[in-house]
Amino acid sequence: MKGKSNSLVGIIMGSKSDWKTMIHCSDTLKKFKIKHEIKVISAHRTPARLHKFLNESKKNKIEIIIAGAGGAAHLAGVAASLTSLPVLGVPIESKLKGLDSLLSTVQMPSGIPVGTLAIGKAGAINAALLAISILSVRYKKIENKLIVYRSNFEKKIPKKPF
């Protein structure tokens, strides 16, 4: 049974400035009609908000957390330490072109994993697609949509480069 929010995915991001990247994650989930929550939550600026959100996520039966953050991007890692839900991390493009964000998100020491995607827009889209793929194990309707998406995606790839 779903929780009162009905959302399957929770998207969090360290700053409002991350929205221009994370909107692509939300748009991809929307294409699959997957309900999701979107919040600005920072591990260092709003730690209490992070705790509250993750506690409520469990109660609201959210199944996957997607966290986008830039710079010293510890949001996904801290979120993963506070929940047993799968956490996908999107490194936001930063002053250092996102390399700092990528390393901060991907280099989790063993024990608390973060499924880290690519830097920026591609990562935001792929985080949604990976969440969809995880959900498709349990939800047949989502699996069917993913099969159609993949088949259409393949058709869009030209056979020749010219």
CB of 42 vs ligand RP5, minimal distance in Å: 5
Residue whose C-beta lies closest to ligand RP5: 14
- Does residue number 93 form part of the binding site for ligand RP5 (CB under 6 A)? no
The CA distances from residue 59 to 26, 62, 155, in Å, are 22, 8, 41
CB of 32 vs ligand RP5, minimal distance in Å: 25
Question: How many C-beta atoms lie closer than 10 Å to residue 4's C-beta?
Answer: 9
Give Cβ neighbours of residue 88 (< 8 Å, ≥ 6 apart): 64, 65, 66, 67, 76, 114, 115, 116, 117, 127, 130, 131
Quick one: which of 10, 14, 91, 98 contacts ligand RP5 (CB under 6 A)? 14
Contact 29, 132 (CB under 8 A): yes
- Does residue number 92 form part of the binding site for ligand RP5 (CB under 6 A)? yes
Residue 8 or 119: the one with the smaller Cβ distance to ligand RP5 is: 119
Which residues are at the interface with ligand RP5 (CB under 6 A)?
13-15, 17-18, 42, 69-71, 92
